[in-house]
Amino acid sequence: QVELVEYGGGLRQPGESLTISCTASGISIPAKIMAWYRQVPGQEREWVATVGGNSDPTYSDSVKGRFTAFADDAKNAVVLQMSSLKVEDTAVYYCNKFQPPRFRWGQGTQVTVSP
C-alpha cells in the first residue's frame, strides 16, 4: 500500500522561505505526475502545483512566481520550495497524484505564516 509522508512544515514570517517535501513508499514518485495541495480548516483542498511527466511544473495563480516544485529522484520525493510567503499561504500541505485515482492522503505538513 502506498504511504505518502509530507514533512518540513513550520512557522515563518511573511516574506520568508520554507521548503517542504513528500516521500512515498511503494511507488516511484518520479514515474508519476504528482501534485501539491493545501487545505485550510473548513475549506476545500486546493491545488497548488503539479510536477512530473514530461512537462514543466505548473502552479496555481496564487503561488506562481513564488513556489517551485520539483521531483527529487534520489530521495523518491517531490519538493516544494516556497518563497515570499504570505499569511494566506497558511495551510496543511499535502502531496498526491495529480489525477485520480489518488493514493490515500497522508497527514500533511502544517505551514504557518504569521507576523
DSSP state letters, 33-54: -EEEEEE-TTS--EEEEEE-TT
Per the prediction, the chain carries an average pLDDT of: 95
Q: 108 near 90, Cβ under 8 Å? A: no
Cβ 85 vs Cβ 113: under 8 Å: yes
| The pLDDT value given to residue 1 | 84
What percent of the chain has pLDDT above 70?
Answer: 100
Q: 502545483: which residue's cell?
A: 49
CA distance 86 to 41: 17
Residue 93 has pLDDT above 90, yes or no: yes
State the average pLDDT over residues 90-103.
Answer: 95
pLDDT in tens, 9-58: 999 999 999 999 999 988 888 788 999 999 999 999 999 999 987 789 99
